[in-house]
Structure 1
Amino acid sequence: MIAETISLGILSLPSAVAALGIVPAIVIIISLGLLATYTGYVIGQFKMRYPHVHNMADAGEVLMGPIGREILGAAQLLFLVFIMGSHILTFIVMMNTLTDHGTCSIVFGVAGMILSLVLALPRTLKNVSWLSISSFISILAAVFVTMIGIAIQHPGKAVEITVKSDLYHAFLAVSNIVFAYAGHVAFFGFISELKEPAGYPKALYLLQGSNTTLYTVSAIVIYIYGGKDVASPALGSTGPILRKVAYGVAMPTIVIAGVINGHVASKYLYVRIFRGTNKMSQRTFLSLGTWVAITVVLWVIAWIIAEAIPVFNNLLSLITALFASWFTCEFLPIQLNHLAQQYESKQLIMDLTDGLSGLFWLYINKGKYFSSPRKIFLTFLNSFVFVAGATIVSVKSRIQKPV
């Protein structure tokens, strides 16, 4: 979970701070971290209630039948493929940096696609999970190399507590912060492969505590020393030599985190094809050939996306506007409304104390929203879960880059 979530998103955060100012950026990073923890917890509750749910498509089927399965399945698949594309794009940037633009970017893109494809061939996360350790260590080391290097090379530049910005650039920054927390789409799959699913909340709290702390510290430190012109990805903020060192250290996470998302995308299609048969776990020509074919097709599409949208921040913002806010914020109240229809009132009250949110909470407290200070706070909190996702989707789809 840590390797899948803490990857490329962290590299855009210093530029987000530069666009927003230190104080607004800190408030947004920490607030979204708390919100992501809350909604991640709700995903765990939904999974415990419906153990057969392995992905967002399954959850959609629980909520809305076959139509919901197809809609959320398609959205989940597109989201993961766009994430894969962002990793190929970062691989291209990395290779251009390491080789001083030694060859055509398309060649680097093809190389990144092939490398990711080969690593994504194992059919279980058991094999991929060992790579996750090196992925997390590499992004952590790369961020520290960048922070130390930029602190040594740049004694500090003028920083701004707040920044006067237009809506386009400010919302681009907020979208990139949301992207940094957008690991929720894969949580159902991770829970399904846990030996003890009941231990999921502990893993969630470790993840959210780690990423919120790392995001806040790294974004602020790199911005303070890099100034308003800090690069995105942030690894490009240091001098030429340290920049190459940082990208070299970050290579495992640039590749592996994309491979993990690619595995989840491939597994979704693979399970859809073979669900209900005994071929899913067999090592036959049909099952292995199908897995390889799915993996190849998805990574080719991801490569096309990376070549079509060659600007890192813009690609991350597009992913957030289309999908990340939906899966991280918007979808959870809908899930909870369905749960509300399944539970008795007594059980609803018990689950309220466990932290359930969104429309579920609003459903059981109808007419009591402002009956006490605590109810007022919870009313606004759970309403915000729904409104936040809707706002990100609608605003980003309407604003245009200023001329």
Structure 2
Amino acid sequence: MSPADIKDVENGPGPIVEEDGATWENEHDLKVPSVEKDPFGSEAVGEVHYKTLEWWQSGVLMIAETVSLGVLSLPATVAAIGLIPAVILIVGLGIVATYSGYVIGQFRARYPFIHSMADAGDVLMGPLGRHFIEAAQLIFFMFASGSHLVTFTVMMNTITDHGTCSVVFGVVGLALSFVFSLPRTMKNVSWFAMTCFVSIFSAVMITMIGVGIERPSHAPMQLTRPTTFVKGFSAVTNIAFAYCGHPAFFGFIAEMKHPKDFPKSLCMLQGFEIILYTVASAVIYRYAGQDVKSPALGSAGPVVRKVAYGVAIPTIVIAGVVLGHVAIKNVYVRIFRGTDIMHTRSARSIGAWIGLAAAYWVIAWIIAESIPVFSDLVSLISALFASWFSFGLPGIFWLYLYRGQYFTTWRRTLLTLTNVGLFLIGATICVCGLWVSGLAIHDDTGGGSFSCANNA
């Protein structure tokens, strides 16, 4: 595949021309990594077709993947730093995450063979970049899926009043997640995600109404609150985690019927996120007070809490499945890209998918049992991975796309500074977040690894 072929696919004959006059005409500007142009090849024939998502289905998947657990950690974040700083951070980082998601869409439009962050790493740094980002991406998904399994054990302990050992509940969550990960295409998973979408919204509304009626705290909410650097920056990492869906965006775009519609999916996600996060975290904190729980569903009274967790079961399971599906698909495509196995229902293709899914969820379960405190795990994931995938790397993508043209116009200069700032945001969250999350895990007394104790 030559650079000219790629230009023809994207823009028709001739050079690529941006709105502000920038052009890309040579091989350096359109470097082709060691992957095929299209991750799924031709789908004119074959039993399994992947590029089937409408833009709204992609948006629902993105909401299911991102919103689920992120919203549950935010009320405790408000309690840690006060309402006004929290709202500024939630809205501000939401706007930044919207822009960084748009940059990911731009990068994928320029390089339509990209299926994952690993492919993007190949474009940036060759095979070394591919291997490094591929490993980081897979570890991120495993940790994020582990956080869903932790939440599943919290949910089961809450509903059953700690009916049995928490490790057993974790195994049940593992089994359910594995079963729901068996469909190979995103379109099939998207039907599960719609249930997830309704589930998380309903659970949050029930919690908001419940705490509003019960008023577990009568103390006035604090608009600002003195805090330590550790607690304050832990709040920042929790908010960053709420916007950590970006590693899956390339995979969603690759399975869309019309990838150019990705900005619609992105706006659907971010609009829903920012509004829900702001309203839910402020309302739950207002009535639950400084003792608000993380996950937030535990802040309501015993009965309402059980109802909210019951309604949230589809979200707790399926949102983790969406994350797991993207991770498993990345490995699957990496192994079988360019072969007929991608589009067949043979014993080998099905067996490989089942084996990858089983291995993935077993590792995620081990992570969940090793760090069984929800807020600690969220903070660690955010510092290690969300910092780069949601903020730092998109800034690098833009700088790579426009290298050599950073200061050609005033608009380009402004965007250059914006994307340098995006990189610095990611680096700051990573360095400071690792420190504060490490201290939190070290000091936490909420329960040991592989413990039967009640973590609700």
Structure 2 length normalisation: TM-score? Answer: 0.80
CA contact (8 A) 2:102 2:266 kept: yes
Secondary structure class of the residue paired with 1:191 = helix
Separation (CA, whole Å) in 2 of partners of 1:3 and 1:100: 27
Identify the residue that residue 128 of structure 2 maps to in structure 1: 67
Secondary structure class of the residue paired with 1:279 = helix
Summarize the Cα distance change of 1:376–1:157 in structure 2 as closer, same or farther, 3 Å threshold.
farther
1:390 maps to 2:390: no
Identify the residue that residue 261 of structure 2 maps to in structure 1: 199
Identify the residue that residue 310 of structure 1 maps to in structure 2: 372
Separation (CA, whole Å) in 2 of partners of 1:258 and 1:157: 36
CA contact (8 A) 1:157 1:226 kept: no
1:126 maps to 2:187: yes
Separation (CA, whole Å) in 2 of partners of 1:105 and 1:398: 29
Separation (CA, whole Å) in 2 of partners of 1:135 and 1:266: 20
- Unmatched segments (≥5 aa) in structure 2: 1-61, 444-456
Identify the residue that residue 407 of structure 2 maps to in structure 1: 365
Identify the residue that residue 138 of structure 1 maps to in structure 2: 199
Summarize the Cα distance change of 1:377–1:46 in structure 2 as closer, same or farther, 3 Å threshold.
closer
Separation (CA, whole Å) in 1 of partners of 2:296 and 2:352: 38
Higher helix share: 1
Q: How far 1:284 sits from its partner (Å)?
A: 1.2
CA contact (8 A) 1:138 1:251 kept: yes
CA contact (8 A) 1:330 1:385 kept: yes
Separation (CA, whole Å) in 2 of partners of 1:381 and 1:275: 36
For residue 395 of structure 2, what is the amino acid of its counterpart? P
2:155 to 71, 74, 94: 94
Identify the residue that residue 232 of structure 1 maps to in structure 2: 294
Separation (CA, whole Å) in 1 of partners of 2:89 and 2:417: 17
Identify the residue that residue 295 of structure 1 maps to in structure 2: 357
Separation (CA, whole Å) in 2 of partners of 1:4 and 1:218: 18
For residue 60 of structure 1, what is the amino acid of its counterpart? G
1:12 to 57, 66, 73: 73
Residue by residue over 1:167-199, the C-alpha shift from the partner in whole angstroms, topping out at 9 and shown as x without a partner, is 111111110100001100000011111111111
Secondary structure class of the residue paired with 1:142 = helix
Secondary structure class of the residue paired with 1:364 = coil
For residue 76 of structure 1, what is the amino acid of its counterpart? Q
Identify the residue that residue 262 of structure 1 maps to in structure 2: 324
Q: How far 1:375 sits from its partner (Å)?
A: 8.3
CA contact (8 A) 2:399 2:416 kept: no
Q: How far 1:156 sits from its partner (Å)?
A: 4.3
Separation (CA, whole Å) in 2 of partners of 1:394 and 1:47: 28
Identify the residue that residue 112 of structure 1 maps to in structure 2: 173
Aligned length in residues: 378
* Superposition pairs of residues 163-242 of structure 1, within 5 angstroms: 163-242=225-304
Q: How far 1:265 sits from its partner (Å)?
A: 0.7
Identify the residue that residue 392 of structure 2 maps to in structure 1: 330
- Unmatched segments (≥5 aa) in structure 1: 346-362
Separation (CA, whole Å) in 2 of partners of 1:115 and 1:383: 42
Identify the residue that residue 107 of structure 2 maps to in structure 1: 46
CA contact (8 A) 2:406 2:412 kept: no
Residue by residue over 1:78-131, the C-alpha shift from the partner in whole angstroms, topping out at 9 and shown as x without a partner, is 001111100010000000000000000010000000001000011111110001
For residue 365 of structure 1, what is the amino acid of its counterpart? F
CA contact (8 A) 1:7 1:253 kept: yes
1:147 maps to 2:208: yes
Separation (CA, whole Å) in 2 of partners of 1:202 and 1:392: 28
Residue by residue over 1:131-173, the C-alpha shift from the partner in whole angstroms, topping out at 9 and shown as x without a partner, is 1111010000000000000000007432111111111111111
CA contact (8 A) 1:12 1:234 kept: yes
Separation (CA, whole Å) in 1 of partners of 2:221 and 2:169: 36
2:314 to 248, 252, 257: 252
Summarize the Cα distance change of 1:285–1:385 in structure 2 as closer, same or farther, 3 Å threshold.
same
Q: Which runs of 4+ in 1 moved over 4 A?
A: 374-380
CA contact (8 A) 1:156 1:224 kept: no
Residue by residue over 1:14-47, the C-alpha shift from the partner in whole angstroms, topping out at 9 and shown as x without a partner, is 0000011000000000000100100000111111
CA contact (8 A) 2:380 2:434 kept: no
Separation (CA, whole Å) in 1 of partners of 2:339 and 2:414: 49
Separation (CA, whole Å) in 2 of partners of 1:272 and 1:47: 17
